Amino acid sequence: MRKGIPRAAAVASALMILLPLAAASAGPYVATAVHQASGTPSPPANGDSPFASCDISGFLIPGETNYVNTELEPWVAVNPTNSSNIIGVYQQDRYTFGGARGLAAAVTHDGGATWSSTHPPFSTCAGGTETNGGDFQRASDPWVTFAPNGDAYFISLSLTFLGPPSATGTGVLVSKSTDGGDHWSDPVTLVRDVGDADVAPFFFNDKESITADPFDSNYVYAVWDRLRKPGGAQSVNAEHSFAFRGDTLFSRTTDGGLTWEPPRTIFTRTSLTGTIGNQIAVLPDRTLVDIFDFAQGSGKNAPGFDIQVQRSTDHGETWSAPIQVAPERAVRVFDPDTGSSVRAGGGLPDIAVDLNPTSPGYGNLYAVWGDSFGSEKTKSKPHSTIVFTESTDGGFTWSPLSRIDQSPGDVQAFTPSVHVASDGTVGVTYYDFRNNTPATGLPTDQWFIHCHPTSDCTDPANWAENHVDGPFDLENAATAGGYFLGDYEGLDSIGTTFTSFFSKTTATDKDNTYLATISP
């Protein structure tokens, strides 16, 4: 839902190796086609929200706005058994202070030319009830994955903020589809924590993700963080406590979603620290690698952040101690004209693995996130950039960070995603403001860069750039901690063609989702 551990508005310059940008040597990607995926007919008609008639008068926090017809924070997965079938998931009708009326899946069976939308009952507006486990006022953090047999799994962070304490709280829910996203099962509740601090310790689940094992359709892995106020029953308002720990929770199915194991803590914190942005990648030998942002302080403590990983060689039964990847020194993204904040998921890592046995990068892990960079010679302030690191030994060691975005000068680049195509080509998407002018509005574009596996991808000179879409006016976006497209965006591939599932604004809509195909 948000980068849930407080952080300073600005942090020190990155302590990393940053290589100067040079002319890219990677071969070109030459064709880009963009299809609108959300807000299109069949259903809903005329671009109207499927939840527009839902009465949310009892769900609104004073001073809050619900942005009807907004579709944002997208993720995407391509069906490995039928590449024409793509599911892109997103938040539908975002609230200012957290979550949305529900989550939606945009579904195509013809490679993106036409779309329909479906809505698992993760929230009340989506038809959730106490009987099917979806009786939450809001839903957030959509994520989708395909198993190798074509079964799809859609996960939600579901929330209730208002009501009696025994009814408020958070949960992590999973629905399954066996027909490419056209229909979804009733949700399975992996965890549900009520907000009654007089009965139990305070918990807040956040930032879940889900990964199907690409080698065995029986195994699917879910991971998230859970903030907790330590101790037993609390007689004070736990939301205002500064004594939070942030553990990592993990659950899995080993029978294709028939049952899910009770969640287990795989990283327990005993001091004021915690994880966020957990995401699991599966190596060719089926080792699991969970990447996350680790905060070394919370509440009133001065925060510091690092990207770390944990490994499991037994499908999630046991996990290694955390392994350092690199310092994380993300800074606030802002409107360069007005200074207004842009919520960009700074520091949240995205990870991908090369699973092509014929690729020179077979088994390599690649990670990106929004970080910062400042010129020591000009003493310029750090600004948001895209950094990259790779591991060639299963996550035990990682290359020094390199800056790979091709945004000119001090133009801010943000919200990267990474994926590996079938031939081992590494692709990354991100946004930037390079087309901004002094005129009203904030022109924003999405860009795609790629590096071939025969090259040294730690060298920024080996990345080539393509324009994906834009410019669009980011000042027209919904606001939720700043102008908001999502803490993450989706990226997958069909063979050597990359499929970017992203959010942008239009003249009439604050946020819509789109699929771009980027082909060599």
Least reliable range by pLDDT among 19-33, 265-279, 319-333, 415-429 = 19-33
C-alpha distances (whole Å) from 435 to each of 6, 49, 128, 482 are 32, 31, 43, 20
Identify whether the C-beta of residue 295 lies closer than 8 Å to the C-beta of residue 5: yes
Q: Does 469 score more than 50 pLDDT?
A: yes
What pLDDT was estimated at residue 241?
A: 42
Rounded CA gap, 217 and 220, in Å?
7
Average pLDDT, stretch 483-505?
A: 98
Q: What would the two tokens of residue 127 be?
A: 């038809």
What pLDDT was estimated at residue 202?
A: 73
Average pLDDT, stretch 486-510?
A: 95
Average pLDDT, stretch 156-182?
A: 93
What pLDDT was estimated at residue 380?
A: 60
What pLDDT was estimated at residue 227?
A: 84
Angular region, 73: left φ>0, alpha ψ -120 to 50, beta rest: left
Average pLDDT, stretch 223-232?
A: 76
What are the pLDDT digits (tens) for 284-326? 999 999 999 998 754 444 457 899 999 999 999 999 999 999 9
What size, in residues, is the chain? 520
What pLDDT was estimated at residue 236?
A: 37
Rounded CA gap, 207 and 212, in Å?
17
Q: Which of 328, 300, 274, 376 is nearest to 11 (CA)?
A: 328
Q: Give the range with max mean pLDDT: 37-51, 184-198, 240-254, 365-379.
A: 184-198
At 410 the three-state DSSP class reads coil
With a CB cutoff of 8 Å and minimum separation 6, the contacts of 163 are 58, 137
Q: Which of 512, 472, 501 is nearest to 47 (CA)?
A: 512
Least reliable range by pLDDT among 2-11, 81-90, 385-394, 422-431 = 2-11
Q: What would the two tokens of residue 111 be?
A: 């490679």
Q: What would the two tokens of residue 100 be?
A: 């949305």
Proportion of the chain above pLDDT 70, given as a percent: 85
Q: Give the range with max mean pLDDT: 113-117, 161-165, 244-248.
A: 113-117
What pLDDT was estimated at residue 164?
A: 84
**Encoded amino acid at 238, one letter:** A
What pLDDT was estimated at residue 24?
A: 39
For residues 69 and 227, the model is more confident at 69
Strands (E), 168-316: 169-177, 188-194, 203-212, 220-228, 245-253, 264-267, 274-282, 288-295, 305-312
Rounded CA gap, 327 and 108, in Å?
39
Any idea of the CA torsion for 131, 133, 136, 139, to the nearest 10 degrees? -140
**Encoded amino acid at 202, one letter:** F
Rounded CA gap, 360 and 428, in Å?
19
Rounded CA gap, 393 and 73, in Å?
32
Identify whether the C-beta of residue 264 lies closer than 8 Å to the C-beta of residue 251: yes
What pLDDT was estimated at residue 22?
A: 35
pLDDT band at residue 250 using 50, 70 and 90 as cut-offs: very high
What average pLDDT does the chain have?
Answer: 88
What pLDDT was estimated at residue 197?
A: 53
What pLDDT was estimated at residue 56?
A: 96
Q: Does 422 score more than 50 pLDDT?
A: yes
Edge-to-edge strand ranges of the sheet holding 497-504: 31-36, 512-519, 497-504, 490-494
Least reliable range by pLDDT among 10-14, 188-192, 333-337 = 10-14
What are the pLDDT digits (tens) for 257-282? 999 999 999 988 767 678 899 999 99
Identify whether the C-beta of residue 376 lies closer than 8 Å to the C-beta of residue 347: no
What pLDDT was estimated at residue 405?
A: 97
pLDDT band at residue 198 using 50, 70 and 90 as cut-offs: low
pLDDT band at residue 238 using 50, 70 and 90 as cut-offs: very low
With a CB cutoff of 8 Å and minimum separation 6, the contacts of 474 are 335, 342, 442, 443, 444, 483, 485, 505
Average pLDDT, stretch 167-175?
A: 94
Q: Does 495 score more than 60 pLDDT?
A: yes
Question: Residue 121 belongs to what H/E stretch?
Answer: none
What are the pLDDT digits (tens) for 329-361? 999 999 999 999 999 999 999 999 999 999 999
Say if residue 86 is exposed, middle or buried (CB neighbours under 10 Å; 0-12, 13-18, 19+).
buried
What pLDDT was estimated at residue 404?
A: 97
pLDDT band at residue 232 using 50, 70 and 90 as cut-offs: very low
What pLDDT was estimated at residue 25?
A: 47
What pLDDT was estimated at residue 93?
A: 97
